[in-house]
Every structure is written in structure tokens, then in C-alpha cells.
Amino acid sequence: MQEEKKKGLVQTFLDNGALGFKLWFEKVAVATVFGYAVVEFLNVTGLMNVISVIFSPIVGILGLPGEAATAILASYMTLPAGCAVAASLVQSGTISAAQLTIMFPMMYAVSNNLLYIGRVLGSAGIDSKKYPVYIAIGLLCSFLGGLVVSFLV
């Protein structure tokens, strides 16, 4: 049996750095590009205005414009996508840094919920009729997180 040669510290660092970059490129970069594409699609089609009107009364309680809901909704898919949408909103001047601070715990509370519902609840055999309860709990936690931070900012 041949013994595997031990790697040095530098080689281990380089190998793991390459793996980290590959993971970032495959997961985070794709989600980030997707997030920017979503914002552009919503702007071009006029759906951003529709979302803004629908969600303004809810997120307005927290001092956020209705457009902020797009980042929160994108976070349902993946947090990097939500962050990309939020970054796009900041760059366009739609939201301020203080508003982003309010949004981040909201985005984090619902991040990846669609993935978790499919992977965890589906794998556990939970009745799909109960999924709205899990979604509602995530939304409630999201709103409460935003409410707490809105008092701190």
C-alpha cells in the first residue's frame, strides 16, 4: 500500500483556495448575476412598479420603499440573489444604507426558504398543506427582525 505524500501548508492553502473559488463561482456568482438580472427584468417589464405598489403598505411601516420587497422576495430563493438585488437598489438610489440595514435581517430570516422547504420538509415527508405555515413563520420573523432594527437605526 502506497502512503499518500503529505502536503505542505502553502500547497494546502492553494488547493483549498481553489476549491473555495470554485464554490464561490458555482454558487454565489451565479446567484449574484441572477439577482441583478431579476432587477433589470422587473424594471424593464414594469413589474418593479407593481411590486412597489403592492408591498408599499407593508414595508412602509418599517420606513422602506415598496421596491425593497424585491430583495426580500429574491432572498427566498438564495441570500446572494437577495443581496445582489439589494445592492442594485442601493446603487440606483432607491434605498439608503440605513434602509439596507433594516432589510438585511429581513432577508436573512427568509433566505433560502424555498430550498429548505423542498429539501427538508419534502424529505421529511411533511404534508405540503402545512408549507404555508412555515412560510408565514418565516415572514413573521422577517418582519419582526426588520421592526427591531428599524428602531435601532
Model confidence over 71-115: pLDDT tens digits?
998 888 778 888 888 988 899 899 999 999 999 999 999 987 777
pLDDT attached to residue 75: 87
* Residue 18 domain-assigned (yes or no): yes
Q: At 46, phi and psi to the nearest 5?
A: 85, 0
Question: In residues, how long is the chain?
Answer: 153
* Residue 47 domain-assigned (yes or no): yes
Provide the domain limits for residue 138: 9-152
142, three cell numbers: 422577517
Give the number of domains in the chain. Answer: 1
* Residue 85 domain-assigned (yes or no): yes
* Residue 87 domain-assigned (yes or no): yes
pTM to 2 decimal places: 0.72
* Residue 2 domain-assigned (yes or no): no
